[in-house]
């Protein structure tokens, strides 16, 4: 079984990247049950995804199963966590300590999946100088200074929509390379900047619509 350390070399399709954490969580359950080997067919059955798709997705991780025996559970978990970037901490700054921003600062779960928010920015005088969950809150004006001292390239965007673009522009000018956008606003960035949109409100809209559709 070969685990290739040349991770991130390929631009993996987004659907694959979204399925890999499903496999990972299932594998962790198998490990809890004491299982040592798993086949893509087994994963396929448990997750309800075609076995050939599972095998194809796992091929990106450059880990190969052995005929009849399958994948070694421990090794596959390790390879997936490593591949998905969950084993290394990626430092981030958060912008906008409102309701959602504050909630994300309190979510220690992000840390287990490789995101370490090392500081937050806001202009609210009641927040500046305080900390949440051990994370210091600075005045937004201090961003460039803090940026020059820290190895941070991810920005979490949780500001009101009317300043979403302005703050994004400042983040990018300051050297941020990836924006995790929680606002329902479609921000614009230069080509080389990564944007991950996670609009809880858009997800709510989809859920409400499906729910009402089913009930009619």
Where in 176-215 is the site for a second copy (CB under 8 A)? 177-178, 180, 183-186, 188, 192, 194, 196, 198-215
116 neighbors 89 (Cβ within 8 angstroms): yes
What is the spatial distance between Cα 207 and Cα 212, in angstroms, rounded to a whole number? 9
Give the H/E segment covering residue 165.
helix 164-174
Tell me which residues in 86-105 interact with a second copy (CB under 8 A): 86, 90, 98-100, 102-104
Residue 8 or 148: the one with the smaller Cβ distance to a second copy is: 8
For residues 63 and 79, is the Cβ–Cβ distance under 8 A? Answer: yes
Q: For the chain, how many residues are written?
A: 216
CB of 67 to a second copy, least distance (A): 27
Alpha-carbon Rg for the chain, nearest whole angstrom, is 20
Within 18-57, which residues bind a second copy (CB under 8 A)?
Answer: 18, 20-22, 24-26, 28-29, 32, 47-48
**Helix ranges restricted to H, 127-163:** 143-149
Taking CB under 8 A as the rule, which mask of x and - marks residues 108-147 in contact with a second copy?
xxx--xxx--------------------------------
Q: Per CB under 8 A, which region of 61-69, 122-130, 136-144, 174-182 contacts a second copy?
A: 174-182
Beta bridge pairs of residue 115 = 90
Number of residues lying near a second copy (CB under 8 A):
72
Tokens found for residue 106: 């309190």
**Considering the complex, what minimum distance in angstroms separates the CB of residue 195 from a second copy?**
9
Our finding on whether 151 is near a second copy (CB under 8 A) is no
> Which of 34/68 has CB closer to a second copy?
34
CB of 197 to a second copy, least distance (A): 8
H helices present in 61-134, as ranges: 73-84, 99-106, 109-112
Interface residue with a second copy among 62, 116, 153, 174 (CB under 8 A) is 153
Q: Please report, in angstroms and rounded to a whole number, the separation of the first and last CA atoms in the chain.
A: 52
């Amino acid at each position: 079984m070969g685990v290739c350390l040349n991770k991130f070399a390929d631009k993996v399709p987004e659907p694959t990247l979204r399925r890999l954490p499903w496999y990972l969580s299932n594998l962790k359950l198998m490990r809890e049950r004491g299982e040592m080997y798993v086949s893509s067919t087994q994963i396929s059955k448990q997750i309800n995804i075609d076995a050939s798709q599972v095998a194809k997705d796992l091929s990106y991780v450059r880990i190969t199963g052995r005929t009849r025996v399958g994948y070694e559970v421990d090794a596959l978990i390790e390879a997936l966590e490593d591949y998905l970037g969950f084993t290394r901490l990626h430092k981030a700054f958060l912008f906008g300590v409102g309701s959602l921003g504050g909630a994300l600062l309190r979510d220690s779960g992000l840390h287990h999946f490789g995101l370490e928010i090392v500081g937050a920015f806001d202009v609210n005088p009641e927040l500046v100088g305080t900390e949440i969950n051990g994370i210091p809150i600075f005045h937004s004006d201090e961003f460039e200074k803090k940026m020059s001292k820290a190895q941070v390239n991810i920005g979490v965007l949780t500001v009101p929509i009317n300043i979403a673009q302005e703050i994004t522009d400042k983040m990018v000018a300051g050297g941020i390379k990836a924006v995790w956008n929680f606002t329902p606003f479609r921000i614009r960035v230069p080509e080389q900047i990564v944007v991950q949109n996670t609009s809880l409100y858009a997800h709510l809209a989809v859920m409400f619509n499906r729910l009402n559709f089913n009930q009619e």
